[in-house]
């Protein structure tokens, strides 16, 4: 199966298990950065939390001020080392056979290493000092912990490029604190979800709520920014700077329901906390991370592939320790807009499944990504699929055009 053009994507990429296997082995464990969680979860020395990268169990621990991440797997027989979601430990200790590791991942203890009364035990050539947990490269970027399986990966800011890095710092002016977490299981291949995040064209068409309340219309001033690698992007729009209302009304979109009004519009309130009038910023990081700002809802979406036809999205809503009561209330009210139950985002949970159900029987057909031309460049227009084409460009750079 070959991806001949970033504007024509064979539906087979969403259903072929051999492609999924290559993604798991080569893409996710290759030179890419993944979101792990917030630094604020590790308040004390020796705090840890467990998480996942594409289904691989990961443990993140703070030791002498340094944040380390390891595959949460004993090298002996592969059991999980840390079972709880969070906790505090002075060493890793495997429940299965009692092997222990220090917090740098170095093997320190093997139960009955010398056997009992000279019988049994490990062979002489087994040297504990040569044995380590599989460790990841970790970077704490403005209070958010990222990791990569590749020890040679460029630092995070170089990887995403200056424009995307600035977009992340914009929504991380201070250290983020978790306000709540939920998760959503979507019945589609992970790529359908991450394409959806890069699809600035659909947002105000599928999501009636956006358009009806002028939260995000394609006529609002804004744009998309795509990094040089192609796979990471920002789509943004500003409140109250509409350029052409008439275009929308002429289209008579189903999404534009002028007869619908909220009895209590508090959920729509926008406080310009970053001082730039930008009320919407969807920022994707290749391959599995999304940062969103929708009004004052701030969130990191952690995308976890769950097999070829399912993907879990974990929503990490955050705020800041010094949030005013007004800002905190805005963030709480806007939970009605975003997330698995959100007036805006709920539809993304459904539409991915609609594409997936058709992908198995596509018989060589391709999906078209020609809106806005053939490039994957930044533009002031959001009537484009350039950011999705950019995703496929970087995808092919990692896996080659001939995927299987």
The token pair that represents 282 in the structure block: 């969807």
357 touches another protein by CB under 8 A: no
Strands, E assignment, 31-93: 34-38, 47-53, 56-63, 66-71, 86-88, 92-93
Report the Cα–Cα distance between both ends of the chain, in Å, rounded: 5
The nearer residue to another protein, 224 or 298, going by C-beta atoms, is: 298
The residues near 243 (Cβ < 8 Å, ≥ 6 apart) are 219, 220, 221
Residues 147, 36: Cα–Cα separation, whole Å = 7
d(CA 292, CA 301): 8
Q: Is 291 in the site for another protein (CB under 8 A)?
A: no
**Residue in 243, 262, 365, 368 binding another protein, rule: CB under 8 A:** 262
Smallest separation (angstroms) from another protein to the CB of 174: 18
* Pair 382, 223: CB distance under 8 Å: yes
At closest approach, how far in Å is the CB of 197 from another protein? 16
Q: Applying CB under 8 A, does 234 fall inside the site for another protein?
A: no
Rounded Cα distance between 380 and 236, Å, is: 10
Instruction: Select from 75-83, 152-160, 177-185, 221-229 the region that touches another protein (CB under 8 A).
Output: 177-185
The whole-angstrom separation of Cα 5 and Cα 210 is 32
Question: Can residue 312 be called a binding residue for another protein (CB under 8 A)?
Answer: yes
Region near another protein per CB under 8 A, out of 64-72, 100-108, 128-136, 182-190: 182-190
d(CA 149, CA 158): 17
Element (H, E) at 166: helix 162-170
Q: Is residue 77 a contact residue for another protein (CB under 8 A)?
A: no
Nearer to another protein, 290 or 335 (CB): 335
* Residue 143 binds to another protein (criterion: CB under 8 A): no
Among 5, 40, 139, 183, contact with another protein (rule: CB under 8 A): 183
Q: Which is nearer to another protein, 169 or 266 (CB)?
A: 266
Give the C-alpha separation, 48 to 61, whole Å. 4
Q: Pick between residue 41 and residue 224 the one whose CB is nearest to another protein.
A: 41
Name which of 27 and 53 has its Cβ closer to another protein: 53
Nearer CB in complex with another protein: 270/379: 270
Report the residue number, 64 or 263, with the smaller CB distance to another protein: 263
Would you count residue 399 as binding another protein (CB under 8 A)? no
| Residue 179 within binding range of another protein, rule CB under 8 A | yes
Q: How many residues bind another protein (CB under 8 A)?
A: 41
d(CA 81, CA 75): 10
Can you say how many angstroms the Cα of residue 287 is from the centroid of all Cα atoms in its chain?
A: 7
Q: Please report whether residue 54 would count as binding another protein according to CB under 8 A.
A: no
248 makes contact with another protein (CB under 8 A): no
Q: Which residues of 37-55 are buried (b: 16+ CB within 10 A; e: fewer)?
A: bbbbbbeeeebbbbbbbbe
What CA dihedral angle connects 15, 400, 351 and 284, to 10 degrees? 140
Binding status of residue 362 toward another protein by CB under 8 A = no
- List the interface residues with another protein, window 325-344 (CB under 8 A): 328, 331-333, 335-336, 339-341, 343
DSSP code string of 235-277 = EEEEEEEES-HHHHHHHT-TT--TT---SSGGGG----TTSS-
| 321 SS3 class | coil
In angstroms, give the least distance from the CB of 377 to another protein: 31
212 belongs to the binding site for another protein (CB under 8 A): yes
DSSP 39: G
User: Rule CB under 8 A: is residue 264 a binding residue for another protein?
Assistant: yes
Helix (H, G, I), strand (E, B) or coil at 187: coil
Task: List the interface residues with another protein, window 189-208 (CB under 8 A).
Answer: 206, 208
187 binds another protein (CB under 8 A): yes
CA–CA gap between residue 64 and residue 68 (Å, rounded): 10
163, 347, 375, 401: residue in contact with another protein (rule CB under 8 A)? 347
Q: How far is the CB of 334 from another protein (least distance, A)?
A: 9
Interface ranges with another protein (CB under 8 A): 85, 178-187, 206, 208-209, 212, 257, 260, 262-264, 266-267, 312, 314, 317, 328, 331-333, 335-336, 339-341, 343, 346-347, 349-351, 353
């Amino acid at each position: 199966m070959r991806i001949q053009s970033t504007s024509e994507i064979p539906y087979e990429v969403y259903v072929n298990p051999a492609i999924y296997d290559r993604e798991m082995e080569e893409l996710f464990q290759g030179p890419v950065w993944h979101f792990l969680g917030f630094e604020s979860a590790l308040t004390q020395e020796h705090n840890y939390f467990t998480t996942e990268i594409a289904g691989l169990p990961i443990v993140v621990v703070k030791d002498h001020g340094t944040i380390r991440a390891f595959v949460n797997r004993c090298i002996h027989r592969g059991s999980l080392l840390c079972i709880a979601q969070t906790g505090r430990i002075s060493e890793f200790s495997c429940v299965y056979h009692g092997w222990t590791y220090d917090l740098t991942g170095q093997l320190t203890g093997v139960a009955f290493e010398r056997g009992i009364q000279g019988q049994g035990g490990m062979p002489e050539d087994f040297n504990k000092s040569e044995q380590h947990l599989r460790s990841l490269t970790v970077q704490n970027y403005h209070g958010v912990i990222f990791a990569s399986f590749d020890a040679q990966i460029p630092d995070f800011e170089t990887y995403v490029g200056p424009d995307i890095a600035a977009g992340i710092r914009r929504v991380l002016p201070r250290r983020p604190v978790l306000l709540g977490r939920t998760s959503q299981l979507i019945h589609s291949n992970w790529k359908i979800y991450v394409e959806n995040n890069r699809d600035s064209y659909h947002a105000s068409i599928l999501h009636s709520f956006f358009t009806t309340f002028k939260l995000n219309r394609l006529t609002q001033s804004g744009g998309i920014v795509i990094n040089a690698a192609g796979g990471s992007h920002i789509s943004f729009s500003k409140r109250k700077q509409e350029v052409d209302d008439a275009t929308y009304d002429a289209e008579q979109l189903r999404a534009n329901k002028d007869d619908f009004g909220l009895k209590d519009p508090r959920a729509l309130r926008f406080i310009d906390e970053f001082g730039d009038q930008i009320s919407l910023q969807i920022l994707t990081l290749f391959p599995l991370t999304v940062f969103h700002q929708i009004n004052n809802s701030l969130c990191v979406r952690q995308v976890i592939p769950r097999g070829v036809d399912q993907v879990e999205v974990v929503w990490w809503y955050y705020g800041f320790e010094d949030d005013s009561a007004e800002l905190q209330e805005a963030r709480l009210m806007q939970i009605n807009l975003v997330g698995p139950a959100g007036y805006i985002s709920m539809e993304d949970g459904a539409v991915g499944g609609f594409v997936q159900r058709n992908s198995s029987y596509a018989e060589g057909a391709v999906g078209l990504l020609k809106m806005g031309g053939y490039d994957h460049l930044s533009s002031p227009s959001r009537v484009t699929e350039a950011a999705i084409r950019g995703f496929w460009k970087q995808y092919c750079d990692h896996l080659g055009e001939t995927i299987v």
